[in-house]
């Protein structure tokens, strides 16, 4: 996992509430090997017209949004299917952080495992940011995971990032969770032995 300390970028706005992971990456692309790169599938069907041409009105298709590594998205972003391909598509496209009032729980966990930082900000703050960016699309936002705050443009100020300390630490250091967990292998084995002994049908 690529470590994340802080990121300053312009922000692309995808203001869809309940944007499910089928919108982020349609199911038919999930057969692809990760080595092919999932960025090409990001928002595949909603950033294109029916004939396949890119819709110039969709945020990510606008020339001024091409360099954005931070997305402002609608509430309950990433709801629905557990497909981690949704996170792969965002990461492979170059997105490093997301800002929304809330995220789908499974998507949120998937994002953390891939170093994609999901920042929850209150809905009125997200609305104010969207309004500001509509007038000043080139204004940057800084997501500073180390300092634990996100700095918004204009007079919108700085806001704390309420990410779990454990996840924050893993992402800051680019830690591998499986390696970390295996350092607890003795405890896992002892727990497991007692559990199987009490529930012998589990081990069959």
Interface with another protein (CB under 8 A):
15-18, 20, 22-23, 26-28, 30-31, 34, 45-46, 50, 74-76, 79-84, 87, 102, 104-106, 109-110, 113-114, 164-167, 169, 177-178, 181-182, 184-185, 187-188, 191-192, 195, 198-204
CB of 202 to another protein, least distance (A): 6
CB of 122 to another protein, least distance (A): 14
Shorter beta-carbon distance to another protein: residue 10 or 88 = 88
Shorter beta-carbon distance to another protein: residue 44 or 62 = 44
Shorter beta-carbon distance to another protein: residue 67 or 194 = 194
CB of 140 to another protein, least distance (A): 25
3-state secondary structure string, the chain? Answer: CCCCCEEEECEEEECCCCCEHHHHCCHHHCCCCHHHCCHHHCCCCCCECCCCCECCCCHHHCHHHCCCCEEEECCCECECCCCCHHHHHHHHHCCCEEEECCECHHHHHHHHHCCCEEEECCHHHHHHHHHHHHHCCCCCEEEECCCCEEECCCCCCEEECCCCHHHHHHHHHCCCHHHHHHCCHHHHHHHHHHHHHHCHHHHC
Shorter beta-carbon distance to another protein: residue 146 or 169 = 169
């Amino acid at each position: 996992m690529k470590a994340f300390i802080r990121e300053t970028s312009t922000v692309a706005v995808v203001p869809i509430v309940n944007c499910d992971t089928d919108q982020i990456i349609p199911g038919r692309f999930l057969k692809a090997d990760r080595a092919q790169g999932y960025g090409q599938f990001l928002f595949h069907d909603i950033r294109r017209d029916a004939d396949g041409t890119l819709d110039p009105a969709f945020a990510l298709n606008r020339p001024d949004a091409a360099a954005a590594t931070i997305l402002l998205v609608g509430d309950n972003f990433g709801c629905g299917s557990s497909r981690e391909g949704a996170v792969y598509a965002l990461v492979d496209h170059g997105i490093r952080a997301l800002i929304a009032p809330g995220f789908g729980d499974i998507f949120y966990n998937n994002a953390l495992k891939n170093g994609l930082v999901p920042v929850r900000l209150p809905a009125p703050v997200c609305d104010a940011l969207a309004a500001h960016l509509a007038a000043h699309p080139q204004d940057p936002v800084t997501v500073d995971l180390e300092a634990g705050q996100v700095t918004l443009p204009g007079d919108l100020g700085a806001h704390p990032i309420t990410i779990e300390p454990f996840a924050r630490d893993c992402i800051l250091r680019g830690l591998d969770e499986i390696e970390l967990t295996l350092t607890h292998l003795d405890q896992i084995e002892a727990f497991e032995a007692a559990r199987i002994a009490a529930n012998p049908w589990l081990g069959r």
